[in-house]
């Protein structure tokens, strides 16, 4: 193979470099703008460094059942426990009566769950970190209690909502 000579080799090398630079510049000018990815998360209320709360515990500690005398009122003592390392405020607490059960734990169709109602807790309750508070909830018995409700137990399902204090 024949040598082009030092001057011509430099000229060819510079030409190749300039063509390569022109191709890269043209590609860069024609590429679309880089798009930022869509947000994959969101922060509620702008509070980014607040830890998630564990659910507070609700335990009925009343002991005795409310007697189902028509129009009667009774109370349920409820202990609210905070398993979190921070104080919490319980904003709401309610209980819903389930279908009543007889002594053998079978449902009784002739006695509706609506015979019993539990008044939701109206006051907010502050519970210290790792602490517990006892509250009283009012239970009301309907004025019209069917005979089938005699000696039955109504299961209560408690629920509530809390937030950081």
Closest CA relative to residue 151, chosen from 69, 96, 76, 72: 69
Q: Hey, where are the domains in the chain?
A: 1-31, 54-164
For residue 112, pLDDT beyond 80: yes
Helix (H, G, I), strand (E, B) or coil at 81: strand
Question: Domain 54-164 maps to which CATH number in 2.60.40, 3.40.1710, 3.30.450, 1.10.10?
Answer: 2.60.40
Q: When comparing pLDDT for 81 and 105, which is higher?
A: 81
pLDDT, tens digit (0-9, with 9 covering 90-100), for 4-50: 666 767 666 666 656 565 555 555 555 555 544 444 443 334 444 45
Instruction: Supply the DSSP symbol for 84.
Output: S
Mean pLDDT for 50-61 is 86
Task: Average the pLDDT over each of 10-19, 94-103, 133-142 and give the range with the smallest value.
Answer: 10-19
Instruction: Give the pTM.
Output: 0.65
């Amino acid at each position: 193979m024949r040598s082009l000579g030092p001057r011509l080799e430099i000229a060819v090398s510079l030409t190749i470099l300039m063509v390569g630079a022109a191709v890269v510049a043209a590609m860069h000018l024609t590429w679309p703008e880089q798009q930022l990815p869509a947000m994959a998360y969101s922060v509620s209320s702008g509070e980014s460094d607040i830890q998630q709360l564990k659910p507070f515990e609700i335990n009925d500690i009343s002991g005795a059942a409310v007697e189902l005398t028509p129009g009667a009122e009774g109370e349920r003592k409820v202990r609210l426990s905070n398993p979190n390392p921070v104080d919490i405020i319980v904003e709401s607490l309610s209980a819903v009566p389930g279908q009543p059960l007889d002594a053998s734990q079978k449902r009784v169709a002739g006695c509706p769950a609506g015979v019993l109602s539990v008044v939701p807790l109206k006051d907010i309750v502050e519970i210290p970190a790792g602490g517990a508070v006892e509250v009283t909830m009012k239970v009301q018995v309907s004025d019209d209690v069917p005979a089938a409700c005699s000696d039955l137990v109504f299961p209560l399902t408690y629920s509530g909502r809390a937030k950081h204090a």
